[in-house]
Amino acid sequence: MPTLYLAYRVRSLILNPSVIAWSILFVLFWVFMWIYVFGNELASFKGEVWYESAVKSYVAVMYSSLGIVSMGSVAVALTGSNAVMASSIRYVTRFTRLTSTRLLIEDLSASILVFSTVTATIVASSILLSWHRYGVLVVPEKPLPLVIVLLMLGLFFYLLSIVMTRLILLFAGAKILQTALTMMPLAMSFIPYALLFTKTSEFIAYAYPPIALQALAIEATSGIEVPPTGIVVSLREATVSKHLEYHVNLATTLVSYLVWITGLALIAVLLSKRIKAVHPEELMI
């Protein structure tokens, strides 16, 4: 049975002002912009043979990419809260039913649940608003693969936040560096978003797995195979030629992902051994 920590952790993260403001409201603002401003011209093509396919592709690109940005924002909240609560962990695991292993499992579960809730909010809002604007209900073509990809991204950003937390504790007292480390997950979540509009080499896409995972999320939603970068440009070209030059290599993506996940976990463990006791007053999160 889970302890009260799980429920309290979920509630504290969901009600965290930065999660509400940046992970939900800020991203919903960009959902509105994508649908009612950037995609305004798309609605004028209603009635064309390719209209429904174009809407599905456009909406799939939108909420897959913005969902990653919202995860990066949640990871910022995780990083800050984990750094502040670090000094109390030894007492919690000593004087409560929480062991170190159980604490890790429940913290991971709470974080993934929050990632899922925030992303589901973005996806549901995107579907409803796009339905209102374009008259096309864009539901995922492959729901299970989409859920798997989103959970993989959630685990990635969770471990990234843990590493950033360890670095913050290691460099306690360096306020500017602490702020930069806290914001790092959000900055890294914008890399896949930026590469929606820019074609680059496949190496970059597989060197940083969220880029390729973003493309897989778009594939699962739209049912259309897309390249890992320059997706918006490629989909426009495909509307005319009905052909995409290349698509994501699933095996390479999984290998890259596993290497990153393993590496982040090992780095977190190694950094934990170097951290000394840090007073909360030394942290400026």
pLDDT tens profile 105-155: 999 999 999 999 999 999 999 999 999 999 999 999 999 999 999 999 999
What residues have CB less than 8 Å from 57, skipping those under 6 apart? 218, 222, 224, 235
Whether 79 contacts 122, CB under 8 Å? no
Higher local confidence (pLDDT), 23 or 100: 23
**Which tens digit of pLDDT belongs to each residue from 131-140?**
999 999 999 9
pTM equals 0.91
pLDDT band at 160 (very low <50, low <70, confident <90, very high): very high
Separation of alpha carbons 78 and 91, rounded Å = 20
86-90, 99-103, 180-184: least confident range: 86-90
d(CA 262, CA 255) in angstroms, rounded, equals 11
Which residues are CB-contacts of 189 (< 8 A; sequence separation ≥ 6)? 68, 69, 71, 72, 73, 75, 157, 210
Task: Please give the C-alpha separations between residue 82 and each of 66, 89, 200, in angstroms, as whole numbers.
Answer: 24, 10, 35
What is the average per-residue pLDDT within 1-16? 87
- The percent of residues above 70 in pLDDT, for the chain, comes to 89
Angle between helix axes 100-134 and 4-14 (nearest 10 degrees) is 40
Q: What are 64-84's pLDDT values in tens digits? A: 999 999 999 999 999 988 877
**Greater pLDDT, 281 or 56:** 56
Instruction: Tell me the domain boundaries of the chain.
Output: 4-282
Torsion angle of the four alpha carbons 168, 108, 149, 126, in this order, in degrees rounded to the nearest 10:
-80
CA gap 69, 180 in Å, rounded: 17
- Burial code (b: 16+ CB inside 10 Å, e: under 16) for 221-230 equals bbebebbbbb
pLDDT at 237 exceeding the cut of 60? yes
Q: Around 149, how many Cα atoms within 13 Å sit in the side-chain half-sphere? A: 25
What is the token pair recorded at 61? 């690109």
The two three-digit tokens of residue 244, written as one number:
């995409």
Q: What angle do CA 100, 102, 103 make, to 5 degrees?
A: 65
Estimate the crossing angle of helix 209-222 against helix 250-272, to 10 degrees: 130
Tokens 């290998």 -> residue: 255
* Sign of the dihedral defined by the CA atoms of residues 183, 186, 191, 197, in that order: negative
CB 214 within 8 A of CB 236: no
- What is the rounded average pLDDT of the residues 179-204? 92
